Structure 1
Amino acid sequence: MGSKKIGILREGKIPVDRRVPFTPAQAKEVKDKFNVELRCQASEIRCFEDDEYRTNQVTVADNVDDCDILMGVKEVPIKDLLADKTYFFFSHTIKAQSYNRELLQTILKKNITLIDYETLTDKTGKRIVAFGRYAGIVGAYNGIWTYGKRYNLFNIRRAHECFDLDDLKTEFEKVDLPPIKIALTGGGRVAKGAMEVLMGMNIRRVSPAEFLHKEFDHPVFVQLNGRDYNKPKNGGEFVRNEFFSNPENYENDFLKYAEVADLLIAGAYWDPRGPELFKREDISSPEFKIKVIADITCDIEGSIPSTKQPSTIEDPIYDYEPSQGAIEAPFNDEGNITVMAVDNLPCELPRNASQDFGRELIDNVLPYLLGEDADTIIERATIAKEGKLTPKYQYLQDYVDGK
């Protein structure tokens, strides 16, 4: 890339995000390992204090305008974007999200090179940096917290009230669940993070067949992959590659699980072309048993019809009234479903989430950013450059043009 001067941005998006791309120790490692100049923008909200960076021989300054590569986490406020720079952050533009059209328009006008963390992949298309594990950890924990609150079973601290993951784990022994059944969807980083919590709480994992047909005298959970609750419309067997390529050819088969589950933790990626997990009318059926949903994916009015809006860390839950499809105050009526749909879950454990994320950046991205990009990792992830969308992202032109 030519430049060897990197700046760690102060997060400016509201609500505030306390995560960082590099911890203080990692920032020092970047300086030493890659022989670059690194500067950290002063911040009062960051989960690591400015003095922690100074202790690690990292310069802290009010601005990082003279840096060529600027790295943050969330979208940079439009007013703060600097022309002719290279930025790394989650832009939330690759799905043509309407709320960030002006952001991408400004990036193009200011001749900014935008590299989105979400688009950084290896040669097989697998993402190489992500916060998914901590979304799963916090999402599952919040789901158990919500269930406990709804039925007055136990009191545990909120995740964001804990110092870090080790502190969070001290709450696990306080959880005392009745013999409920928990359905967890997904098989990636999110689901693995969720399973860390469920198994850490000594909730036994069972097979899909056991989940459907056996009764237990203790709480259990099942981890469901796409093949477990999707089937071809025209019969035949589930084929994973076909499902991901042409999800519109499949229909949902989740209701059999909804008829025995008490709590749903939704951690599976959903393609809008594919089937919903269930429909609004399904929720009104007497056979539909789920009363608490922790929707980690938080696709608004997507695969889960009760996820009508995102919730916040400060106000994490709401009730869904199925007959009218309306949002109500939590725990308003026993016939409602209580929904946890916080859309920035890793922010509740920012120190751990930042540690893992920074490690992936150092190991999987910086060698190609600051050296030879032989596998075109940086090139494939670059959305905008020299005032234009790159060829891979030309599909966003109508979005940019407001069409």
Structure 2
Amino acid sequence: MACFTRSMAFCRSGSQPWRISYRHLSSSPTNKPCIGIRREESSVWERRAPLAPHHVRTLTRDGFQVVIQPSTRRAYSMFEYIDAGAELSEDLSVADVILGVKAMPVECLEMLSNKTVAFFSHTIKAQESSMPLLDGCIEKNVRILDYEKILAESGQRIVAFGHFAGTAGMINILHGVGLRLLALGFHTPLMHIGGAHNYSSTSAAKAAIANVGREIQYGLMPKSMHPLTFVFSGNGNVSRGAQEVFKQLPVQWIQPKDLEAVAKSGDNRRFYGCIVDRFDHLYRTEGGGYNDEEFLEFPERYSSNFVEKVAPHMSVLMNGIYWTPAHARLLTKQNIYPLLQKRGPVHHGLGGMPSRLLAIGDISCDLGGSIEFITRSTTLDNMFEIYDAESDNYTTDFSSDGILYMSIDNLPAQLPREATDFFGDQLLAFVPELARADWSKSLDDVQISSSLKDAMITYDKSLTPGYKYIDDLRAAQD
């Protein structure tokens, strides 16, 4: 394997800043279990890594070899990984297991043949865009371990970025609502909030939002606007990350039953927050009360009255729920249309709210899922679109009729260092057993925990038994 390691010498060319100089070494595999870390190539915004330098330091001190592909885009520099004991190499063939964050391009599979690769594969719902990658992994015998399916006995995800998706998503939607209101004729303190990537850290973003909160308390929201109500669907990691940011504003938390009254007569010197959990809107279609255990096992038995009880009284929806085709939708193309016809106050042509419902932050990013009309992702380059229910069209014109939405599938990339630290803290416990595993054995005989075995999507050029259903989903799509 051709490896690179940092030279002790530095070079300077004219007025160029100090740069690392590398010397080429020829090295043979060691007897140490080896972990590879991929360079992320899915997006120019992707600056995360599965492990931070301090995680690498722990592994190298515990007798593991860590090889990392060079990248100047990572939020943590190559310097920091090398100082932690990692080696730099384009070639990861020496690694026993290779860690990434997002799915790699199909053309990268050639160098990963017969390897175990851990990443978010986005294949478990037979997502059409990810099927070429799944087919390529099966053909090349690339064993996929999907972080999304590393679960505790309770079914809760163990290794996830969800908290930071909620954090970044909430910052972004406050920014977007400020822009939307300005386009509708209202200057608000929300104009002082930028996108999440504009802040060096979560704490810097929270400080800026707290300053905006003081302006709201001082009465600087336009008097002609109705009070803003924010609904958080679900109360898991994603929702709690969003709530943590929202709490920097002057907030009054209310119950779903209070939404209608607050929407009519609330105080513009505060925002209203409402958490809507499963039991608040789901009901058994054939009668009977809500039962959580039954719902988790048989979600298809339940319908939702979200559109009747909650949606007419909300200004912003932060959607953080898990959804499959067996689950009831929160909003459909049919029931969103009447909501957008309920126009808010218009004052002398100087500013008008096209409807109470201003925006949706679809943090879950299940396209065509719990929010049926969100069928296309937005990006960190273009974070928002307006959906016009009447024409069933999308636009980037913030002054047009419709609802602003954000549906970005890599939100934590806006807070890359903190997200990497958080994710690596969870992943690190599993890395040693992955690196020591004998992948030449059958999956039943590999000495890894059941949580990891259950997260293996492919093995021995085939879908594993727990994921054979993907073939059925694909057949149904044809």
**Shared fold per TM-score greater than 0.5:** yes
The residue that corresponds to 1:25 in the other structure is 54
The residue that corresponds to 2:130 in the other structure is 100
The secondary structure found in structure 2 opposite 1:143 is helix
422, 436, 446: which one aligns with 1:356: 422
The residue that corresponds to 1:188 in the other structure is 236
Give the deviation of 1:343 after TM superposition.
Answer: 2.0
Give the deviation of 1:397 after TM superposition.
Answer: 4.0
The residue that corresponds to 1:211 in the other structure is 259
Q: Does the aligned pair in 2 maintain the 1:317–1:330 contact within 8 Å?
A: no
The secondary structure found in structure 1 opposite 2:324 is coil
353, 360, 364: which one aligns with 1:297: 364
Give the deviation of 1:16 after TM superposition.
Answer: 4.6
Q: Does the aligned pair in 1 maintain the 2:387–2:395 contact within 8 Å?
A: yes
Give the deviation of 1:371 after TM superposition.
Answer: 6.3
Aligned equivalents of 1:235, 1:56: Cα separation in 2: 59
Cα-Cα RMSD: 2.2
Structure with greater contact order relative to length (CA < 8 Å, sep ≥ 6): 1
The residue that corresponds to 1:369 in the other structure is 434
Q: Does the aligned pair in 1 maintain the 2:167–2:241 contact within 8 Å?
A: yes
271, 285, 308: which one aligns with 2:324: 271
The residue that corresponds to 1:343 in the other structure is 409
Aligned equivalents of 2:192, 2:365: Cα separation in 1: 25
Cα deviation code 1:30-54 (max 9, x no counterpart): 2223x21111110121111111112
Aligned equivalents of 2:471, 2:288: Cα separation in 1: 39
275, 286, 298: which one aligns with 1:234: 286
Segments of 5+ residues of structure 2 without an aligned counterpart are 1-30, 183-187, 222-226, 343-354, 438-446
Aligned CA distance change for structure 1 residues 210 and 399 (closer, same or farther; 3 Å): closer
Q: Does the aligned pair in 1 maintain the 2:51–2:421 contact within 8 Å?
A: yes
Aligned equivalents of 2:115, 2:473: Cα separation in 1: 23
Aligned equivalents of 1:163, 1:368: Cα separation in 2: 34
The residue that corresponds to 1:198 in the other structure is 246
TM-score, scaled relative to structure 1: 0.92
Greater CA deviation, 302-311 or 351-360? 302-311
Give the deviation of 1:384 after TM superposition.
Answer: 1.5
67, 89, 94: which one aligns with 1:66: 94
| 2:330 is equivalent to residue 330 of structure 1 | no
Aligned equivalents of 1:344, 1:237: Cα separation in 2: 37
Give the deviation of 1:266 after TM superposition.
Answer: 1.0
Aligned CA distance change for structure 1 residues 60 and 201 (closer, same or farther; 3 Å): farther
Aligned equivalents of 1:85, 1:301: Cα separation in 2: 33
Q: Does the aligned pair in 2 maintain the 1:368–1:377 contact within 8 Å?
A: no
Aligned CA distance change for structure 1 residues 212 and 31 (closer, same or farther; 3 Å): farther
Aligned CA distance change for structure 1 residues 399 and 236 (closer, same or farther; 3 Å): closer
| 2:365 is equivalent to residue 317 of structure 1 | no
Give the deviation of 1:322 after TM superposition.
Answer: 1.5
Q: Does the aligned pair in 2 maintain the 1:113–1:385 contact within 8 Å?
A: yes
Give the deviation of 1:150 after TM superposition.
Answer: 1.2
334, 348, 366: which one aligns with 1:281: 334
Q: Does the aligned pair in 1 maintain the 2:318–2:360 contact within 8 Å?
A: yes
Q: How many residues align?
A: 399
Greater CA deviation, 262-271 or 351-360? 262-271
Higher CA-based Rg: 2
Give the deviation of 1:386 after TM superposition.
Answer: 2.1
The residue that corresponds to 1:51 in the other structure is 79
Cα deviation code 1:315-352 (max 9, x no counterpart): 0011111111111223132x411111222111111111
Instruction: State percent identity of aligned pairs.
Output: 30
Aligned equivalents of 1:94, 1:14: Cα separation in 2: 21
470, 475, 478: which one aligns with 1:396: 470
Q: Does the aligned pair in 2 maintain the 1:105–1:400 contact within 8 Å?
A: no
Amino acid of the structure 2 residue aligned with 1:211: L
Q: Does the aligned pair in 2 maintain the 1:19–1:73 contact within 8 Å?
A: yes
Amino acid of the structure 1 residue aligned with 2:409: D
The secondary structure found in structure 2 opposite 1:259 is helix
Amino acid of the structure 2 residue aligned with 1:238: Y
| 2:199 is equivalent to residue 133 of structure 1 | no
Aligned equivalents of 2:239, 2:417: Cα separation in 1: 20
Cα deviation code 1:227-265 (max 9, x no counterpart): 111222233211112222222222221122222111111
Cα deviation code 1:276-297 (max 9, x no counterpart): 1123233332447312111112
The secondary structure found in structure 2 opposite 1:183 is strand
